[in-house]
Amino acid sequence: MRFAEVIGHSEIGARLRKGVQSNRVAHAQLFDGPEGSGALALALAYARYLHCNERTEADSCGQCSSCRSYDSLQHPDLHWAFPFFKKDGGEQATSQPFQAAWRLRMLAGPYFGQSEWLDVIGADKKQLFISVHEALEINRKLGLKSFQGGWKVLICWLPETMRVDTANKMLKLIEEPTDRTVMLFVSEHFDQLLATIRSRVQAIRVPRLSDAEAASGLIEKFNVDASLAAQWTQVVEGNVAAALRLQQSDGAGSDYGLFVRWMRACYGQDSPAMVELAEEVSKMGREAMKRFFVYSMHMVRQCIVGNYGAMELVRLTDEERGFAEKFAPFIHHDNVLGLQDLLEKAHRDIAGNVNGRLVFLDLSVQVNILLRKTA
């Protein structure tokens, strides 16, 4: 990942390079941006630039030995930290068993979110975190001499998953850094980051990409068809990770198709169909269910926007828009808040390990009642 490969954010890139050129490199920096904004991509491009032996004003060279080791993410002075779960039977939880999977995921492109990472490591029901032992391991790695005599760089993804005891172990590194050490934290939720960390890092705010930036990124870097890219970025509001998720799920098809069938079953009070859907949805797994509820909230919100006569503002694909135009009249001020509350509660229940089939069935019955309310 060179700066040229990062989607958008050319100003931030220029500022970061300027810092390196004028030898102003803060040893603890925080790239703070929402999922799919490219904060991780920026951090990686920056690390590569720091390590490059022949960097120019515009970018890392792409040719030197350091750049070549970055092509396979094998640079010996680049270290990674990320949330993971404790494998059964392990005495001390460190990221070691997941490092290879992490590198492969990063090589596929640094535009992904927690749900992709959960899929990669098969941690559907597990809580991910950065452990105390991991923090000790990071202390050890960064305490070693640099292999190539230059910077030692740590990229730490989602530091907000550190618990207090872990963060305390990291603080020493932040406050008393070893020689030529740079720690790059990449967070999605700045507000959830412990204040002790937050106050000691130099924060770089990475804003959400505009629809146009995200679309051209999808076209140029991921070979997405132009009309699809335009549709997807509308739906996901510039979140490249979410757009790629739509691509994975075979276009916008799966969640959309499911939502349409579900709403028909709920409105028509079709109990057998509701039971069947509950079965189907609960088999998708918790992450997919959570995603589906988020998608459903999005659809409900868009229907309300459409109801206020602003169909052109609605963030939907053509197919979804066709459905929303017919469905929107059933969503109104008397049931919209109730629907949102129900979907949020279902999302929370699934995250809290409540039985998926029961959650979905109960939700369907409640949605049926709300949909039949007339405005």
Residues in contact with Zn ion by CB under 5 A are 52, 54, 60-61, 64, 67
Alpha-carbon torsion, ordered 29, 34, 37, 39, to 10 deg: 20
Q: How far is the CB of 175 from Zn ion (least distance, A)?
A: 31
CB atoms closer than 10 angstroms to residue 89 = 5
DSSP element (H, E) containing 47: helix 39-51
Q: Report the nearest approach of Zn ion to the CB of residue 220 (Å).
A: 22
* Closer residue to Zn ion, CB minimum distance, 60 or 282: 60
Nearest approach in angstroms of CB 54 to Zn ion is: 5
CA distances 57 to 14, 41, 123, 316, Å, are: 9, 19, 42, 41
φ, ψ dihedrals at 253, nearest 5° = -55, -55
Nearer to Zn ion, 67 or 331 (CB): 67
- Rank residues 60 and 234 by Cβ distance to Zn ion and give the closer one: 60
The residue (of 54 and 341) whose beta carbon lies closer to Zn ion is 54
Specify the long-range contacts of residues 265-272, CB closer than 8 Å, at least 24 apart: 265/364, 266/364, 266/367, 266/368, 266/371, 267/330, 267/368, 267/371, 267/372, 269/368, 269/372
Query: What's the closest the beta carbon of residue 300 comes to Zn ion, in angstroms?
Result: 49
CB of 70 to Zn ion, least distance (A): 8
Instruction: Compute the least distance from the CB of residue 61 to Zn ion, in Å.
Output: 4
The 8-class DSSP code of residue 3 comes to: G
Nearer to Zn ion, 2 or 27 (CB): 2
Shortest Cβ 144–Zn ion spacing (Å): 23
**Residue pointed to by tokens 């939907």:** 316
Closer by beta carbon to Zn ion, 47 or else 235:
47
Tell me if 41 sits within 8 A of 110, measured CB to CB.
yes
Helix 286-307 and helix 253-267, axial crossing angle in degrees, nearest 10: 70
The nearest distance, CB 15 to Zn ion, in angstroms, is 20
Q: Which is nearer to Zn ion, 66 or 335 (CB)?
A: 66
Extended strands (E) in the chain: 28-32, 78-81, 152-157, 181-187, 202-205
**In this complex, which beta carbon is closest to Zn ion, that of residue 52 or of residue 371?**
52
3 state DSSP class of 249: coil
